[in-house]
Structure 1
Amino acid sequence: MTDSMISFLVGLAVVLVVAAVMLARRYMRDHKGEGMSQWLDAHHMGWMHHRH
């Protein structure tokens, strides 16, 4: 890969990480009553419970 391509990918990764952190902070601020484990179970682990 060329240097410009590598720098583009690194910059894109940084932007994505910053956006994810901002969204997580906003979500946690709006849902203070929920714990992270409850959020993970409800949003990400649900598919595991359907396939046994």
Structure 2
Amino acid sequence: MTQSMIGFVIGLAVMIGAAGMLGRRYRRDHPENPDSAVRMREWLDTHHMSWLHHKH
């Protein structure tokens, strides 16, 4: 691996770690209630990545 590639991989790992920490903090500060689950389902249905939400 070249030095720039190592820097890229480390930077990517730091970004993923920061996103995970922020997500965990957000979920702790905003505990889920039944309303938020419905809103998330509606958002997934209208979003261009709706294939992530499998309708059962």
Q: What's the TM-score bracket when you normalise by the shorter of the two chains?
A: 0.5 to 0.7
Measured in 1, the distance between the counterparts of 2:26 and 2:4 equals: 33
CA RMSD of aligned residues (A): 3.1
TM-score, with structure 1 as normaliser: 0.61
- Aligned pairs, number: 46
Query: Partner of 1:31 in structure 2?
Result: 30
Q: Which has the higher contact order (CA 8 A, sep 6+)?
A: 2
Percent of aligned pairs sharing the same letter: 32
- Please list every run of at least 4 consecutive aligned residues from structure 1 whose deviation after the TM superposition is greater than 4 angstroms: none
Structure 2 residue ranges without an equivalent (≥5) = 48-56
Structure 1 residue ranges without an equivalent (≥5) = none
